Amino acid sequence: MDGNKRPRRRRRRGIETVKSLLILLLSLSAIYLTLLTLDYSRVSWAPLQGVLSLFHKDVDQPPADTSAPAQSAIAPRPVRIGVSDGTERYVSQYDTQETDQMFEQLSILLSESLDSASSPQPVEEAAWRQALEAPGVWFDFLGTIPLDVLYAWMGDGGDNPALIHSARRVAVALDEGGGVCLYYHNEADGLYYACATAVAYEGHMDALVSGYGGNGYSFVFELEDNGGYEALDPYVLLAPDSLRPPVYRASNPLLELDDAMVSAIQQAASFQPQSNSVYPVANGIRIREGRETLEIGYDGVAVYHAGDEDTGRYPVGNGKDLLPLVETTWRLAADTVGRWCGEARLYLMGIDREADGSLLVRYGYTLNGADVLLPDGACAAQFTVSGGQITDYTLYFRRYEQSGQTSPVLRERQAAAALEALQPQGRELILSYSDTGGDTVQAGWTAR
């Protein structure tokens, strides 16, 4: 009898052991599912984190907020394009969708010309004007872009040592000898340049520029005696019809700052989401890591200060090669203000050298190809670079959404007459949205 009881007891003990293991596994599963609903950045009890690691070793921070689209892909886009077949010109401006479509078709000419451009040669302004009327394509990026950076962006990191200048406007056009040149205006020295290229006109470029026809746009310099536009810059493009730009709703996305947004901004700025040095200040929160601070304000402004130049958080090289600098600042801007800007788009306004040797990199917002003027001359994002590091930056968060309404603006002739009364010297007349912090923004003519 005893011999029969012992196997039964062993079987019962085995069953109880299995039950215990099942209960333990169910308990651990319950803990795991509970922890999934928590903010991991606030879970600091080591035993619980150890249990969690049994299930998923990579879970150490909350998922980023994906409620807003990101603009992290570096994709410089012109705000206006003009295509000429030598007889007619077709222009797209203040229409982002159409301009993007044209750029997709014509960007290959710009990429090929940047790739094969020879050393730049100064040319007379007359040669620049002739290029704008010759068969070719004219691109306006609104901001000043280093041409080597533009080529690296468009050519998957390619390099051409002949691209030594920066430009806002560039043209790829047929020259008098039958070749194709890259033309641009270097605003730093005020000169115009031409670079011979290997772009083929016949059987390639001619096919790309043909078929657009004309839509009545002209440059001011093409008008006889300027026709009442004497106050304008000669390269202002005059529209054949009056414009009715859209009206946008505007808001401050940081007005109701929540944990998910703070965590996403921390991640984008390379701050540790689980940092305990997060505390409230008068108008928002401050995050501190060592001597570095990132202050995020309910007014929509975030400010970073390194504290010293040896933090190593944002290395951008020696300052001679601008590509790492632009790539780093672009991604910071795109993953922060660009993530929550709605219908707006970021563009590189320029890179300026300050009196102390530091570099100032500025990004702005555009709406449907028109720039956005923020209060007190602020930028969407502004970065100070010194000693191969980003030492300071300011981010200005704004969100813009379609309102479904439009607002007419003055014809250029009327705007030019008003401008001439105020400032008789030639100025560029462009469409801009003035954002003073209100609920809506609408476009109007500005001179610069």
Q: Where are the domains of the chain?
A: 2-55, 80-216, 249-402
Kindly report, residue by residue over 197-207, the tens digit of the pLDDT.
999 999 999 99
3-state secondary structure of 445: strand
Hey, what are 82's tokens?
């003009």
Amino acid at 226: N
Distances (CA, A) of 384 to 115, 230, 274, 315, 441: 30, 38, 27, 12, 29
**Do 110 and 373 meet the contact criterion of CB atoms below 8 Å apart?**
no
Checking if the pLDDT of 156 tops 90, the result is no
Among the CATH numbers 3.90.950.10, 3.40.50.970, 3.30.310.160, 1.20.58.220, which is that of 249-402? 3.30.310.160
Residue 247 host element (H or E): strand 246-251
Hey, what are 98's tokens?
């159409």
**Do 284 and 297 meet the contact criterion of CB atoms below 8 Å apart?**
yes
Q: How confident is the model at residue 10 (pLDDT cuts 50, 70, 90)?
A: very low
Checking if the pLDDT of 210 tops 70, the result is yes
Average pLDDT over residues 213-231: 85
Q: How confident is the model at residue 424 (pLDDT cuts 50, 70, 90)?
A: low
Q: What is the per-residue pLDDT for 319?
A: 67
Kindly report, residue by residue over 225-274, the tens digit of the pLDDT.
766 787 788 999 988 888 999 999 999 999 988 989 999 999 999 988 76
What is d(CA 179, CA 200) in angstroms, rounded to the nearest whole number? 7
Distances (CA, A) of 389 to 104, 165, 269, 318, 393: 34, 23, 14, 9, 11
Which of 210-214, 278-282, 409-413 is predicted least confidently? 409-413
Q: What is the per-residue pLDDT for 33?
A: 37
Maximum Cα–Cα distance for the chain, whole Å?
123
Across the chain, mean pLDDT equals 83
Q: What is the per-residue pLDDT for 310?
A: 65
Q: What is the per-residue pLDDT for 17?
A: 52
Q: Which of 147, 203, 139 is nearest to 173 (CA)?
A: 139
Average pLDDT over residues 292-297: 94
Checking if the pLDDT of 42 tops 50, the result is no
Q: Which of 263, 241, 243, 261 is nearest to 253 (CA)?
A: 261
Q: Where is pLDDT greater, at 84 or 30? A: 84
Classify each residue of 1-11 as buried b or exposed e, where b means 16 or more C-beta atoms within 10 Å of its C-beta.
eeeeeeeeeee
The radius of gyration of the chain from alpha carbons, rounded to an integer in Å, stands at 29
Which of 53-57, 221-225, 346-350, 434-438 is predicted least confidently? 53-57
Angle at the Cα of 422 (from 416 to 426), degrees rounded to 5?
A: 55
Q: What is the per-residue pLDDT for 32?
A: 39
Q: What is the per-residue pLDDT for 378?
A: 96
Residue 191 host element (H or E): strand 191-196
Q: What is the per-residue pLDDT for 56?
A: 34
